[in-house]
Structure 1
Amino acid sequence: MEYPTLSAAFTQHFGAAPALVLRAPGRINLIGEHTDYNDGLVLPAAIDKEIRFAMRLNGTDRVRLAALDFDATYEVAVADIAPLPDGHWANYQLGVVAGLLQRGAQVPGFDCAFGGNIPSGSGMSSSAALECGVAWGLNNLLDLRLDTMTLAQLSQTAEHEYAKVMCGLMDQFASLFGRAGHVVELDCRSLEYKYFPFDTSASRLVLCNSGVKHALADSEYNKRREECAEGVAILQKHNPAITSLRDATLADIDAAQAEMGEVVTKRCRYVVEENQRVQDVTARLAEGKSLAEVGELLYASHAGLRDLYQVSCKELDVLERLAHNAPGCYGARMMGGGFGGCTLNLVATDQVKEFLTYMKQGYHDQLDLKLDTYVTTLADGVGELLNEE
């Protein structure tokens, strides 16, 4: 949505021009899936799919929201903000306001209109973009001077308490901390992070959207988190120094396998192996090693998500199998929480067109489904939009 269109829609809804217009990007994650809530390592990047917001303080005590993409509005007094029924689109923004209030901020009434091009249910974290955009906007409009990591944590808490998804910090971090042309490794325990350039002249990160989001996605996400916590509790009995799966080794898991049982053992083994894969990928990026080596790690990540963490689905597995024989593809894996959404594919830049043709035809032939694809550009994190843009 272009700046003039968004500004005009805001004025039409609220009777005045916006004081601030900004963008909040979605994200991809090169590798490090389901590790963030286990104190692990992740390697995300902000992308050029984004939500744009127009905002202003309105001089009342009421929050007025307009979701332009599906022509819906919501209004509530600041004092009456509470979680709405599960799945309500306004929960993401209201959760951010609630978090600011809990921190002692004085939040007056404000107007916010927003729209974007992050496909819902694709695993590109439209929810984090919604949260981070409002958090960043209010931080600026109210001159709260909260640092960027605090905004990420505030947005994460909004997802926990209002959307009821017990996510880790990765999605919100990526939306706020993204840097154009880079992936960023985040240590979810120490919150230290490091940028790695991504050479798009050699390869592109291409998303293939399965077009499905199975209903159990959110409930199974929370269940996986509980299974990991169960594993940690058992591992601690064997070694009190283990406070999260970040501390565990495969030998620790083998020693506790009988007590943990088959399912919890699989979950823990996957997380430990995935953390190692993140380190292996960043080492290869830093050394300029072959893309084929990075690609093999992506395939290994998918195998772990499919067989050990068990969050894949038929459609994602079809896409991953197709990628093995697709022109120019070095590696692929499912991305996001699972049970639908996208696969992430590492594709030679000069063969992207052939790759897309092959994948679309193969997906149609095998499942009779249309495949939407996105060739991503790695973008900066949340920031203000100016009219000339």
Structure 2
Amino acid sequence: MGLLEQHFGSCSGEVRVFFAPGRVNLIGDHTDYSGGYVLPAALDCGTWVAIRQREDGRFRFISTNFDDQVECSAAELAYRTEDGWANYPKGVIWHLRERGVELSGGDLLFHGNIPNGAGLSSSASITMATAFSVRSLTGVDLSLMELIRLSQQVENEYLGVNCGIMDQFAVGMGRSGHGLLLRCKTLDYRYVPLTLGDYRIVIVNSNKRRELAASKYNERRAECEAGFRMIQPHLSEADHLGSVSVDQWREVSRHISSETIRRRLEHVIYENERVLRSTEALESGDPIAFGRYMQESHESLSRLYEVTGTELDVLVEEALRVKGCIGARMTGAGFGGCTVNLVHEAHLDTFCRQVNKRFRERTGRTPAFYCWQTGDGVREIIQGVEACPFW
């Protein structure tokens, strides 16, 4: 008996399967909520959801990754701490109902192979998979962009995490073999070919779990907003921090009264510039330059933005000691989670072996290594659905 039959019984009624990827941010962290530039890529790992419509107004949320199963009525979709992971799909259905999208009930079975709490957007993967599947079942006329915005709204308003839109955008709009240059204020974007030659993207998980809502993420956002209020009167046209150029910053930085806030803004402004230079490097087939920008980004996130911590700093230090590694940086919100590294394919085994050994010696933690490929965005699985993990 497969997991689907185990949880859904005889599976009477149509069962449809959807997939939403995780994402890795190649460069441009903590710039999205200031309206700046980011360069994420969707991965070929992610979240599958099998969904079957019910007619009794009840919802069941089941996951192969968690023991707890949550069941509720449409009137009970409000956030509850004790519902844990299920608050993510609950929040999506709650917000869709607020927009008049009526689903008569449903069984939703989730399976994910994104490490939870690692900073690879497991939450955005769940919310986008849910939103896309409910749209498909109900036939409601909502664009992919509207689903992306709704998924961000779930994080901001339902879950209380003041994240930007990068994660949901990358999960929704990803394209295999490409990064996605996104200007978060305007949502202008273009696909960037990942012309890396013989280099491969390696993600290393520190296995130090991070909780966004419990971290200093919201504090950093508040610091950036406070800093922009200090310099905006001295800027003629800028209406958000992400639009402030390096030259403008040099003129107005003296108006920041707090050294801490000055460091926060300096990271955001120079990080935006690094994202644009990194895009140029990739488009011209220069992975060496791209790797250099990755290193500069991590140093800024550590020294100016102070969101890395011991584990991430050690991972980057040890990665850059290994022959063949030309770039390393934290990825995601920080405070634990993962690094993203650029490693020559001839040195992959040595890289994993040496970083594993040295990281364990210095921190007592055992890291995990992932060589996932880039992938496409959220979609329904039609061909080969029998190969899905829970079928």
Structure 2 length-normalised TM: 0.93
Q: Does 1:319 align with 2:306?
A: no
Q: Report the AA paired with residue 170 of structure 1.
A: M
Instruction: State whether residues 200 and 349 of structure 1, in contact with CA within 8 Å, keep that contact through their aligned partners in structure 2.
Output: no
2: distance between equivalents of 1:244 and 1:125? 25
- Superposed, which structure 2 residues align to 1:80-119 within 5 Å? 80-85=76-81, 88-119=84-115
Q: Secondary structure at the match of 2:117?
A: coil
> Root-mean-square deviation (CA), in Å?
1.9
Instruction: State whether residues 13 and 53 of structure 2, in contact with CA within 8 Å, keep that contact through their aligned partners in structure 1.
Output: no
Provide, for residues 107-145 of structure 1, a one-character-per-residue CA deviation record: whole Å limited to 9, x for no partner: 321110111111011111100011000000001000113
- Superposed, which structure 2 residues align to 1:167-316 within 5 Å? 167-199=163-195, 202-214=198-210, 218-239=214-235, 241-254=237-250, 255-289=252-286, 291-316=287-312
Instruction: State whether residues 36 and 243 of structure 2, in contact with CA within 8 Å, keep that contact through their aligned partners in structure 1.
Output: no
1:376 offset after TM fit, Å?
1.8
1:11 offset after TM fit, Å?
2.2
- Superposed, which structure 2 residues align to 1:64-75 within 5 Å? 64-75=60-71
1: distance between equivalents of 2:343 and 2:95? 40
Instruction: State whether residues 209 and 337 of structure 2, in contact with CA within 8 Å, keep that contact through their aligned partners in structure 1.
Output: yes
Change in 2 beyond 3 A, CA 1:308/1:245: same
Instruction: State whether residues 160 and 213 of structure 2, in contact with CA within 8 Å, keep that contact through their aligned partners in structure 1.
Output: no
2: distance between equivalents of 1:285 and 1:10? 46
Change in 2 beyond 3 A, CA 1:201/1:259: closer
Instruction: State whether residues 208 and 344 of structure 1, in contact with CA within 8 Å, keep that contact through their aligned partners in structure 2.
Output: yes
Instruction: State whether residues 84 and 162 of structure 1, in contact with CA within 8 Å, keep that contact through their aligned partners in structure 2.
Output: no
1:252 offset after TM fit, Å?
4.1
1: distance between equivalents of 2:298 and 2:127? 28
1:246 offset after TM fit, Å?
1.6
Q: State the match for 2:157 in structure 1.
A: 161
Provide, for residues 138-184 of structure 1, a one-character-per-residue CA deviation record: whole Å limited to 9, x for no partner: 01000113111111111011111222111111111111111111111
2: distance between equivalents of 1:56 and 1:260? 56
2: distance between equivalents of 1:6 and 1:186? 38
2: distance between equivalents of 1:8 and 1:242? 56
Instruction: State whether residues 206 and 374 of structure 1, in contact with CA within 8 Å, keep that contact through their aligned partners in structure 2.
Output: yes
Change in 2 beyond 3 A, CA 1:340/1:179: same
Instruction: State whether residues 217 and 338 of structure 1, in contact with CA within 8 Å, keep that contact through their aligned partners in structure 2.
Output: no
**Which 4+ stretches in 1 moved above 6 angstroms?**
none
1: distance between equivalents of 2:197 and 2:235? 47
Q: Report the AA paired with residue 265 of structure 1.
A: R
Q: Secondary structure at the match of 2:61?
A: strand
1:87 offset after TM fit, Å?
7.8
Q: Does 1:59 align with 2:55?
A: yes
Provide, for residues 174-195 of structure 1, a one-character-per-residue CA deviation record: whole Å limited to 9, x for no partner: 1111111111111111212111
Q: Secondary structure at the match of 1:219?
A: coil
Indicate the larger mover: 65-74 or 326-335. 65-74
Q: Report the AA paired with residue 83 of structure 1.
A: Y
1:85 offset after TM fit, Å?
1.8
2: distance between equivalents of 1:376 and 1:132? 20
2: distance between equivalents of 1:220 and 1:177? 28
1:369 offset after TM fit, Å?
1.9
2: distance between equivalents of 1:180 and 1:230? 38
Indicate the larger mover: 379-388 or 135-144. 379-388
2: distance between equivalents of 1:86 and 1:322? 39
Q: Report the AA paired with residue 46 of structure 2.
A: E
Q: Does 1:334 align with 2:314?
A: no
Change in 2 beyond 3 A, CA 1:266/1:64: same
> Which of 1, 4, 7 is the equivalent residue of 1:7?
4
1:283 offset after TM fit, Å?
0.5
Q: Secondary structure at the match of 2:208?
A: strand
Indicate the larger mover: 85-94 or 301-310. 85-94
2: distance between equivalents of 1:306 and 1:241? 30
Identity %: 38
1:7 offset after TM fit, Å?
2.9
1:250 offset after TM fit, Å?
3.7
2: distance between equivalents of 1:269 and 1:261? 12
Q: Report the AA paired with residue 239 of structure 1.
A: L
2: distance between equivalents of 1:87 and 1:191? 33
2: distance between equivalents of 1:328 and 1:87? 45
Structure 1 length-normalised TM: 0.94
1: distance between equivalents of 2:62 and 2:13? 14
2: distance between equivalents of 1:33 and 1:217? 17
2: distance between equivalents of 1:86 and 1:334? 31
2: distance between equivalents of 1:45 and 1:271? 20
Q: State the match for 1:359 in structure 2.
A: 355
Gaps of 5+ in 1: none
